[in-house]
Structure 1
Amino acid sequence: MSRFWRTWTIGWCWAVSLFGLILAASAFEATSGPTRLLFGLLNAHAALDLDAPMRFSLGILGAVTVGWSLTLLAAVQAAHLLGDRARPIWMLVIGSLVVWYVVDSALSVATGFGLNLLPNTIFAAAFLLPIIGGGVLKPPAP
């Protein structure tokens, strides 16, 4: 994988972390503006009701998202260090992304937030592009 794509995948992980922090910040009214904006874009016909259970849920979801992004960052950096031997790591990382995409997208549609498929697809493609295009999935040469 080229230096550009390495930097891209690491930046992607940090972007996921930032998204998680935005969600976590909605646990408090004073810092919930970015989350309200995000939900407004994804579901303009319904106002976001940030009652106590929703604040708790979004706060926990944000924390889990930050944790997932940092775990992915560790896996990505380990894969970069392994070079040609990293294919199994990349396959596991892709698997985690596919599971997230399928579950998140299905639930988005089922709960009336179908527009969430657009950012989900862009986010997944932005991660998969350097992996697929960067040649890291090729089996190592004998």
Structure 2
Amino acid sequence: MSALEAALAAGRAAAAGLQRETVTLYRPGVPAFDWDTGTDGSATPLALYTGSARVKPVARSRGEEIEAGEANVTLREYAVSLPWATETSERPAVGDLIEVTASPNARMVGLRLWVTGVEFSSTATAWRISAEDRS
């Protein structure tokens, strides 16, 4: 094992130790109109990953207020780190959702984040996903 591989293994183990939340990463289903019944069909979301993660607000994010429909919404940026070796059935994409299902901080449970970007690197210590809270 090279010095770089040893350093990466140590860094990945340390990053895994910080992943204290449990999250579900999923792709919302596309609702479809049922012409026979005249109703909107509920689409089944596609689960991409369920497991440990680190969810933390981005330090430089101050929250940006925007108008969505007739309501004011504040966007807050988060960095979500999954274990480096995580495999998913499909690559996460912008618009996918991350829901915090368990956390040592009970206030985080139920937090819903929209994926805004996904980072790939062979020398990273975790798989990082940019996301935002739209509440």
Alignment TM-score, normalising by the size of structure 2? 0.30
Which has more helix, going by share of residues?
1
Alignment TM-score, normalising by the size of structure 1? 0.29
Which has more strand, going by share of residues?
2
Higher relative contact order (CA 8 A, sep 6+): 1
